[in-house]
Amino acid sequence: MHTKAILVALCLIVTGLAAVFASPSTQAATYVNDQLMEERGATAALGGGDHVFVRFGSDAAFGIVYGTTANPNNIYVVAIKARYLGVAHVVDSQGRTLLDNRAIKIYTLYAMKLDSIVEFRDNNGNGIADYARVYNGTTNRFSNYINRAGDVLYKKVDLNTNWTAGPIARTNGTGYRTWTFDLSATNLSYSAVANYTGSVAGVLPLVHFTFHLNASAQQVTNVTVPRWNVTISGGNTITTVTRAADLLVSGKAVHYDLKWDQDIEGWTYAAGNGAGVARRLLLEIGAIVGNFIPAALADQWLENHVLGPMHESGSAQFNSTIRAETANETTGNYATARRLATPNVDFGANLTRIGRYLWVGTSTVDGNPTRPVYGEIVAGLRFAAVGENGNRFVGFVLLAGLSFRGGASVIHDPTVTTDVQADLQLPSSPAGPNGTLIALVGGIAVVAAILLIFLFVRRRRGKTSSMPPPPPPPET
């Protein structure tokens, strides 16, 4: 039996499903929040630094990676989550069971990078920064800024720096646990962008973020899981795929949301960028969605013939002022940046939701709490990074931003959320006539992604994580 054929069968059978899990039963919630584990300390993830994560077993991790004095870096809001795409019963042409009730499970990285703060002048009056950036898909690096549509970019502050962390305040409620902490950076230097030749003297006195990380884990029953019968012949050929009766299983539903209060204080504006509605600041954000492919399976064939046909690579859905749109690795730079008509961007795939980024539609600028905030999407570009031992993350990076009225004090509150179906209790499968073959091939096909996962966070107090590590980040 060919291992890759089984793996492809497990993946392709789910194509075209509208959803994987039905809503859990309406019985009273049973919370298992004691299974949420806090994790802190040095990390090599996403460029390195320090991290505060809340983990649930090997299926979910959510939190912050940030730079330190020893390892300057940006702030990343990070979620690594297992996505269960269904289960399969696989037989050969003689009807002999090869795999039964085998979970189709992949790991996905979802991260928001707080990249830079950019000063610009909104000369065309649409409230956002019309610009483009050059992206090298080989090195995963953004470089030059290019003015477009009459807008002028002046200078930026790079948020790749050493962040000072405050203490963590912890709260335990009946249905949730909360971690609150802050990160601040002071006296950040300006640098010119988009061929600006004016002064970049002075520093930005303060950038301050206060994070509120909320998490809950709930035991659920009567979760509906699609089940499929698959017949394989000749070792490589999928001959039939038919829908079987759904399974009802138990599991965990994990919910994370992270809200942050951001405060930008004391920006020195360029000469000629006078006060008024056209003077603006852009918080530039890089959103990363990548699917983990272990080295043993990481070839172009798998990427093209499994993730693509499944429509499970992921994409960003948003409502622009033009229409409802989707961005992914094929989007490239928009000819003009898309201003968002609603204050949210949803990240998902054909079968599963990955996460949501949303924000309050107003900000407080120089004491005025009603200044509009405009979201924008600049580009969607392919992201492929190779880590240790040849393991890969493949997906896309979305260049986005939030545009604020320029003032001496700019305060705002965005949020990132994600949900995870975890720890599904699938029925055990009986041994078939090819017991040895099933144990070997079935084990390789189903468990390969888990066995080949290497450390996400460096050893800390003798403990390790079994989740895949994030790849090197896109750089500016």
- Give residue 1's pLDDT: 38
pLDDT at 469 over 90: no
- Cβ pair 6, 445 in contact under 8 A: yes
CA distance 66 to 164: 9
- Per-residue pLDDT averaged across 216-222, rounded? 83
- Give residue 323's pLDDT: 92
Per-residue pLDDT band at 228 (split at 50, 70, 90): confident
Tokens of 197: 């030749």
Burial pattern 328-367, b for ≥16 Cβ within 10 A else e, equals bbebebbebbbbbeebebbbbbbbbbbbbbbbeeebbbee
With 0-12 / 13-18 / 19 or more C-beta atoms within 10 angstroms meaning exposed / middle / buried, residue 32 is: middle
Report if pTM > 0.75. Answer: yes
CA separation, residue 51 to residues 46, 47, 58, 458, 465 (Å): 10, 11, 17, 11, 13
Per-residue pLDDT band at 98 (split at 50, 70, 90): confident
In whole angstroms, what separates CA 389 from the centre of its chain?
Answer: 23
- 200 vs 468: which has the higher pLDDT: 200
Note the pLDDT tens digit of each residue in 332-379: 889 999 999 999 998 876 556 778 888 999 999 999 999 999 999 999
Flag the least confident range among 13-17, 104-108, 318-322, 405-409.
13-17
Alpha helices per DSSP H over 281-381: 300-302, 308-310
- Give residue 164's pLDDT: 97
- Give residue 45's pLDDT: 82
- Per-residue pLDDT averaged across 414-440, rounded? 55
- Give residue 101's pLDDT: 73
87 - beta bridge partners?
A: 103, 227
- 105 vs 438: which has the higher pLDDT: 105
pLDDT at 460 over 90: no
- 86 vs 383: which has the higher pLDDT: 383
Would you call 50 helix, strand, or coil by DSSP?
strand
What single string gives the DSSP state of each residue in 87-150? EEEEEETT--EEEEEEEEEEEEEEEEEEEEEEEEE-TTSSSS--EEEEEETTTTEEEEEEE-TT
- Give residue 63's pLDDT: 92
Of 261, 281, 282, the closest CA to residue 273 belongs to 281
pLDDT at 453 over 60: no
- Give residue 294's pLDDT: 58
CA distance 400 to 320: 12
- Per-residue pLDDT averaged across 88-93, rounded? 80
- Per-residue pLDDT averaged across 377-385, rounded? 84
Tokens of 76: 């990343």
Of 238, 174, 277, the closest CA to residue 1 belongs to 238
Contacts of residue 153, Cβ cutoff 8 Å, sequence gap at least 6? 118, 119, 120, 129, 131, 145, 147, 193, 194, 196
Per the prediction, the chain carries an average pLDDT of: 77
Quick one: the chain helix, strand, coil %, rounded to 5? Answer: 10, 55, 35
pLDDT at 120 over 80: yes
